[in-house]
Chains A and B, each alone.
Chain A
Amino acid sequence: MIRDVVTAFVLLNAIVLIVTYLTYVERKFAARMQSRIGPYRVGRPHGWLQPIADAIKLLIKEDIIPATADRPVYNLAPIVFLIPSFLIFATVPFAPGLGVADLNIGILFFLAVSSLEIVGLFMGGWGSNNKYALLSSMRAVNQIISYEIPFVLAALIPVLLAGSLRLSAIVQAQEGLWFVAYPVIGQLAFVAFIIATIASENRVPFDILEAESELVAGFRVEYSGMKFALIQLAEYTHMFAVSCLGALLFLGGWLGPGLPGPVWFLLKALLIFLLVTWVRWSFVRIRVDQILGFSWKVLLPATLILLMATGFWVALRSGNVA
């Protein structure tokens, strides 16, 4: 009991720290892509204190609540948005035995809780009582419903290959061969997973809910100070969580020579994060109808067919075909 509480506490703080620095990694990475330097002034070398400075700045900023806002909903939204993002880490095994709870339906829990964030998002958009925010949260609901399905289908392919819903068992099944290297199925599933990841994380080219060139900042347009920081934190935490899931499902989690397991795991998660960031900073945003069309007409049938093919292949391999 006490051990679990301590693990959870340490994990929570570690995640906050990692996520804070992910923003820094992204800013530096984007800056290199755009032939800039990025944050440089706060902290030597290379402005490494920048995320801390940003956090302090947001903490001491004035907290503005719009006069026409629905106060309880507006105030609650960032918290409702944040909690699922942290909750999903409960099932993530960083190494054998290093995790809060290794549920036997780990991946199901992960997917179910991670789609809860839409509730907070919609609350924020609705509670702000702002037209931009409202449009944005409508788009969010549209988009997340459309992309959760291919996301889940793509995540189920490694489950089929491993034959277990337990995340640690999925990693152990990749002892010989990471699923991303699994002939044909693995690569296609990985690509589908990355696309669905970008969409469910609301990043360019699928960031229609933030869409600052049309909707200013989307659902968070009325948020300032610490509430804004919480929303940002939740978003990056969710992104990190999904990157971790990608590392677990396709890149063999903690498996790897030489380095300790958790280091391998974090490196792989970082790799997926950078892949998504790379896409983000080189694409333009697509329109809402195009996003929905792409999801329902292309991604969903493709993942469905892939899932069926995988199932058939697994059955064939185990000799259970009637």
Chain B
Amino acid sequence: MADPEARKVIELGYGGNERLVMNMGPQHPSAHGVFRMILTLEGETIVAVDSVIGYLHRCHEKLGETLTYAQYPSIASKTDYVAAMTSELTYVLAAEKIGKIEVPTRAQYLRVLVAELQRIASHCLWLGTWCLDLGGALGGGATVFLYCFREREMILDLFEALTGARLLYGFHQVGGTRYDLPEGWATRCRDAVVHIDQRLDEYESMLETNTAFLWRAQGVGVISKELAQNVGIAGPLLRGSGVDFDIRRNDPYSSYQDFDFKIPMETAGDCYARYRVRMREFRESIKIVRQVLEGLPEGPISSRPGLKSVGQVRIPKGEAYARVQGPRGEVGCYLIADGGPKPYRMKWRGASFSNLSILPHIVPGHKVADVVAIMGSVDPVFGEVDR
């Protein structure tokens, strides 16, 4: 920590002088992983917050240099383990961009299908854990949490039928996808989506008519439009603050331009706005899933079928940056290939990492209870923060 600027803590001017420094994490019920916040308190009010990350560092970028293009996608899913499909897709897209590899339309559609299902599953987890943060494991929060897990389970079952795995899939590969839809999967998927759509109405009516919930969510953790753009947050946070940006529409990849969907946006910038953005995103994802299932073309699922050994995929010399709209925002992968079976260098841009950097700007001035509400609405996944 040689650079003093890097250690500068954003502090709030406050009249009192009796301060308490309290640790939240790395082991904490609402840390959403292993994250440490050093809070300076004046009574219940937070005057400064210092975040410490790195507890889940697993040398992903170095690992990317030692694994081949065929091996790494299934490891890439471990960066953001809540939305594993997204990070796999990013890596594969970057490799395809360098190699100028064509992907069959069916494979592109399948990628969109799993990406959107993953978004629904990830948002289910977010809603559950956020309510858990607001309402506690021994209260209404736990009720919403268990409801959300019930719905997330349906999508995990679908993924299990598709790939054989429930959390880390290894579905994508350079040139296409590894698996095609099994018999009857589309019908099951349609049923699940109808079911989730109905349940979403139930959550909304349970939460949005609940005064306690509104008290906790509205006006808490306000991110202004300028701040959002300066800090570089992404995804639902950015759109909750009134910046209309979504890679799926602004820079379409994997045939997103073929589908008709809206980009939800709110202008208030508080926790409730972020909640609304995500709730509407659920609906848009469901819409996209339905469109994919309707318009899924026949054809091959990969342009490089019959992979015999893991070293077979070779990418010509070059470099590329691919980005994908993950559930938490822009997930990017910068890849430098040297013509061999392994990349020369790889760099991840995690959405959670950049989103987390908003905390010192918005947390001071709030009460202790709001820290967890804000943390939950930021929705970080620490596998992606630390990598």
Contact = CB atoms under 8 A, between A and B. Distances in A.
Interface of A: 30, 33-36, 131-132, 135, 139, 203-205, 207-208, 210-216, 280-290
Q: Which of the listed residues A30, A132, A203, A214 has the most CB atoms from chain B within 10 Å of its own CB?
A: A214
22 contacts: A34-B142, A34-B147, A135-B22, A135-B41, A204-B136, A204-B139, A205-B212, A208-B369, A210-B138, A213-B29, A213-B137, A214-B24, A214-B372, A216-B28, A283-B140, A284-B135, A284-B140, A285-B136, A286-B215, A286-B216, A287-B215, A288-B369
B257 to A, nearest CB: 40
A234 B132 CA distance: 26
Q: Chain A interface secondary structure, helix, strand, loop or mixed?
A: loop
B52 interface: no
A270 B72 CA distance: 58
For chain B, which range describes its interface: under 10, 10 to 19, 20 to 34, or 35 or more residues? 35 or more
Given A283-B140, A287-B367, 17 more contacts: A30-B142, A34-B147, A35-B147, A135-B20, A135-B368, A204-B140, A211-B136, A212-B138, A213-B132, A216-B29, A282-B140, A282-B143, A283-B139, A284-B134, A285-B135, A285-B139, A289-B44
Nearest to B150: A35
Contacts of A211: 136, 369
A207 to B, nearest CB: 7
B19 to A, nearest CB: 12
A171 to B, nearest CB: 33
A289 B142 CA distance: 23
4 smallest CB-CB distances across A and B, nearest first, come from A204-B139, A284-B135, A284-B134, A213-B30
Contact of B29 (A35, A212, A281, A282): A212
Contacts of A207: 136, 138-139
Contacts of B138: 204, 207, 210, 212, 280
Contacts of A287: 215-216, 367, 369-370
Nearest to A281: B143
Contacts of B22: 131-132, 135
Contacts of B369: 208, 211, 214, 285, 287-288
Contacts of A204: 135-136, 138-140
Q: Which of the listed residues A135, A283, A284 has the most CB atoms from chain B within 10 Å of its own CB?
A: A284
A34 B143 contact: yes
B146 interface: yes
A214 B140 contact: no
Contacts of A213: 29-30, 132-137, 141, 372
A281 B212 contact: no
Interface in B116-156: 131-143, 146-147, 150
A284 B212 contact: yes
B371 interface: yes
Nearest to A287: B369
Contacts of A280: 138-140
B309 interface: no
Nearest to B207: A284
A281 B210 CA distance: 13
A208 B212 CA distance: 13
A283 B133 CA distance: 12
Contact of B140 (A210, A281, A290): A281
Nearest to B375: A213
Contacts of A212: 29, 136-138
A35 to B, nearest CB: 6
Contacts of A215: 368
Q: Which of the listed residues A33, A132, A139, A205 has the most CB atoms from chain B within 10 Å of its own CB?
A: A205
Nearest to A215: B368
Interface string B147-171: 1001000000000000000000000
